[in-house]
Amino acid sequence: MVGAALAAGGKPLEGGVDPQRVQQIAQLLDAEPFAFGPRCADRAGWQRLAATKAYAGAVKDAEKTLAKPMPEMTEELYLQFKKTGRRTKEYARARSDRYGRITLFARAECIENKGRFIKPLEAVLNAICDEKTWIYNFHDGNLDDYNGKKITVDLSSVDLAENLGECLWLLGDRLGAETRQRVMARLRERIFEPYHKAVEGTGQKQWWITADMNWNSVCHAGVVAAALAVCPDRNERAFFVAAAEKFSRNFLSGFYGDGYCAEGMGYWNYGFGNYIQLCETVFQATKGGVDLYQLEGARDAALYPVRIALINKVIPAYADCSLESKPGMQLMSYINRRYGFGLKDYILDDFTIGGPLLSSLLYSCSNSATARPPVAGKEAYEIRSFFKHGVLNCRPAPGSACRLAVSLKGGHNAEPHNHNDLGSFVVVLGKESLILDPGGEVYTARTFSKDRYKSTLLNSFGHPVPVVAGQLQRAGKDAKAVILARTGTEAADTFALDLRSAYEVKGLQALKRTFVYSRTGAGSLTVTDDFAFSAPQTFGSALITYGQWKQLSARELLLSAGGEAVKVSVDTGGVPFTVAADTIKEENHNKTQPTRIGINLARPQARGRVVFTIVPLAVAASAPAP
């Protein structure tokens, strides 16, 4: 396979994969393929799993599904996204039901060992092989894959591939030869060959191979797991391992050298969770000879959930994330043990879980984390976390009266899952985010198109940042927050940003946003915008909240939620200003829609200053006026 691809000519991707490294890895692999868990013939192994709580209902779940007809993946269903621009529930249910049967039937057969799930499983496998494409319909907007013009390896196809590989490995020749051959042929056609040709520069580009975001880790995890499970030639398997070892470094580079995940907490769970799967798959297949856990940047990325959390496990909803995004307990506990962090909030004694076939077996069977003893739990708390990409989190001193924590965001406007949000900030009091980044929208065709920033949830209108001369922030890497100052003491932190490049405004001479966070007393945050134009222009700023608000006086606002409240004092140096509230009416992942409280100077100014001073109020003051 390797030689044939090279002979076809083409420029290898980033220099291609080193043949010597492929040979080194081949020596570490067994002659037979590898996948997680005991094979079906290992009755003791499956009896152990069947006795666990996570697997106890596996046979009954499969029996219930046997009684239900499998939905067809019709052309009408697949074309729903093309016609509506929306990710429809009907398509998602059909796909989930079809692909989920692989896990249900394979697991039940391995537990029961009577053969009664084999024919239903073969029917599922053959039906899936009959599908025109395995990629998500929303990744196929032009229908090139559906119509056979392209073969794209995507998040959907690799998720399916890894579970197909696991299924074939577990059951072996208990599945009919014709079915096994069909599945293997489809894996070669839709996963292995497109990947290999992309790496060697002889076929269609698969852009994610060198990307620095979640597609890289997710797709590499699926491709490698499938290849290790079914490819008979260990040199072929070694190629995929060597390629992932090389190109997954691009994924880790997206953490900016200190573990910051610009994609936000939800995508950290997805992207880094799959990176951990990739690490463990390769570690076990090579008997520890290839340890991706130790690649540069991996350890720092593993600590992102700890360092991004503010207080009471509240996490800023930066990028396309939900306000409810939290690190997965199973994943974090696994990481905690594997890296020996000893974090007291993430300790599990039992890693056994249900879920998709491959991931459930990864966690439920012996692995390189469970092989290590638990490390005594410790508190992981620091009064500030700075990510050099331009995000500063500030927290109260332990044992102090301060209950206020903040996150202050710089960065640039071309981040993965980017929002135009330079200068955004989050204010948390107790367990409530009273001023915040409102999170992502429900994805539609617009979300990842040229019209992305028509969304008032994704453009800067939906963030607590300035509007300059009537202009919102522009997108692109050249729109960046330049850090002018960052100082920190036990008592306070100061963070100053130059935001000029974010606004295409002729005559904009200065735009400096300065945050001062104080730990004194109950705590406070001061946000100061200094601006200057060559001629008078309009200027305004905003606060974003999912809570309630009211105006206490001409220059004071109250924001409240969940029994917590802050008072915001507005100082414009005597210049009159207006206060206007807008509901951001984009469909989001939360139960309500956020409110934008705009504070706008009443007349154009050549220069000026707008200051927000944010302080906690007693709980009794939090109720809004009737």
- 5 pLDDT higher than 50: no
**Which CATH number fits the domain that encloses residue 271?**
1.50.10.100
- For residues 154 and 61, state if they share a domain: yes
- 447 pLDDT higher than 50: yes
Query: What phi and psi, each to the nearest 5 degrees, are found at residue 453?
Result: -90, 15
Please check whether residue 164 lies inside any domain of the structure: yes
Of 605, 527, 528, 610, residue with least CA distance to 566: 527
Pairing mode of beta strands 508-518, 524-537: antiparallel
Pairing mode of beta strands 595-601, 577-583: antiparallel
Q: What is the pLDDT of residues 201-234, one digit of tens each?
A: 999 999 999 999 999 999 999 999 999 999 999 9
Q: What is the pLDDT of residues 226-280, one digit of tens each?
A: 999 999 999 999 999 999 999 999 999 999 999 999 999 999 999 999 999 999 9
- Domain count across the chain: 2
Q: What is the pLDDT of residues 576-597, one digit of tens each?
A: 999 999 999 999 988 899 999 9
Please check whether residue 249 lies inside any domain of the structure: yes
Please check whether residue 377 lies inside any domain of the structure: no
Where are the extended beta strands (E) located within 489-584?
A: 492-498, 508-518, 524-537, 539-545, 548-553, 556-561, 564-571, 577-583
- For residues 473 and 329, state if they share a domain: no
Of 323, 316, 326, residue with least CA distance to 394: 316
- Given a contact cutoff of 8 angstroms between Cβ atoms, the answer to whether 549 and 599 are in contact is no
CA angle 615, 618, 620 (to 5 degrees): 140
CA angle 236, 121, 140 (to 5 degrees): 65
Round to whole Å and give the CA distance between 501 and 479. 5
DSSP 150-164: -----HHHHHHHHHH
Please check whether residue 48 lies inside any domain of the structure: yes
Please check whether residue 573 lies inside any domain of the structure: yes
Exposed, middle or buried, 229 (CB in 10 Å: 0-12/13-18/19+)?
A: buried
CA 14 to chain centre: 25
Please check whether residue 370 lies inside any domain of the structure: no
Work out the pLDDT band at 618, boundaries 50, 70, 90. confident
- 441 pLDDT higher than 60: yes
List the domain range (segments joined by +) for residue 98: 2-364
**Which CATH number fits the domain that encloses residue 529?**
2.70.98.70
Please check whether residue 598 lies inside any domain of the structure: yes
- For residues 256 and 305, state if they share a domain: yes
- For residues 560 and 423, state if they share a domain: yes
pLDDT, mean over the chain: 96
Specify the 3-state DSSP secondary structure of 85: coil
- For residues 389 and 275, state if they share a domain: no
- For residues 307 and 434, state if they share a domain: no
Q: What is the pLDDT of residues 456-514, one digit of tens each?
A: 999 999 999 999 999 999 999 999 999 999 999 999 999 999 999 999 999 999 999 99
The reported pTM is 0.95
CA 568, 572, 576, 580 torsion: positive or negative? negative
- For residues 291 and 330, state if they share a domain: yes
